[in-house]
Chain A
Amino acid sequence: MFKRSLLITAVAMLAIAGCASQKGPATKAIADAEAAISAFKDDAARLLPDDLAKLETTLTGMKDNFAKGDYKAVVAASPDLWSKVAALRDATAAKKAEWEAATAAAKEKWTGYATDLPKMVDAIQSRVDILGKARRLPRNVSKEAFDNAKTGLDWMKTQWAAANDAFNSGDAIDAASKAQAVKDKGDEVLKLLGLAPSA
């Protein structure tokens, strides 16, 4: 009986010693993973937030095991974590390159919108103001078309202000998208008013 107890104790001691010997590698695995993630965390949070959340859940699980003293589990899970870290790092870099290219294209488009759209709005505003004073509308503009043109102009001014806000806050992609919507609406309003751009 004594021998059996001694054996159990010895095995337990070996297990504890074995597990404790994993503490250093486990500590390092977590620290290294955190350092690697922090290098691209801001970009991932902006560009791939769901993927980052999944990775952080995995890391949290490892930390829980570490807190419970299950260093072996931490070390065992480390290769899988590293593979996920590398995958997200690469995906974030690819997404960032894509975003930068889209932003550069949007900025280029914005230059044209910034020159063109205020003129479009001015021309429409001028015609709306003048037709608003007319005793009757021209033959090619119905009352319904004129009313729709006025509503459209109001929308264009609001949306153009929002586009400028987006651009000034650094979101050129959203700004260009809003500006394109203003241009599309402007083309529609020009038709409603019987206006065609000069060649």
Chain B
Amino acid sequence: MADEQNPYTQHYVVKKGDTLSKIAGEFYGDPLLYPKIFEANRDILTDPNRIKPGQKLRIP
């Protein structure tokens, strides 16, 4: 990931009940932009519909 070592990239720790769409809505104002988060976290996510509480996601 290009922003792997970027101290300015925002992070978010997944909570119970979260979805990528919900997180995208929170950070971007638009749930449809969830693929941006998925692509930035391909090293820990294999399926955008499967995220686990405690996972630390990069929010580009």
Contacts and interface: CB of A to CB of B under 8 A. Distances in A.
Interface of A: 116, 119-120, 122-124, 126-127, 130-131, 133-139, 141, 190, 195-198
A123 B6 CA distance: 8
Nearest to A141: B29
Contacts of A198: 7-11
Contact of B33 (A123, A134, A139): A134
Given A119-B6, A122-B3, A122-B6, A139 B11 contact: no
Given A130-B33, A196-B10, 9 more contacts: A116-B7, A123-B3, A123-B60, A134-B29, A135-B29, A135-B32, A136-B29, A197-B7, A198-B10
B30 A119 contact: no
Contacts of B9: 123, 126, 198
Given A130-B36, A130-B60, A138 B7 contact: no
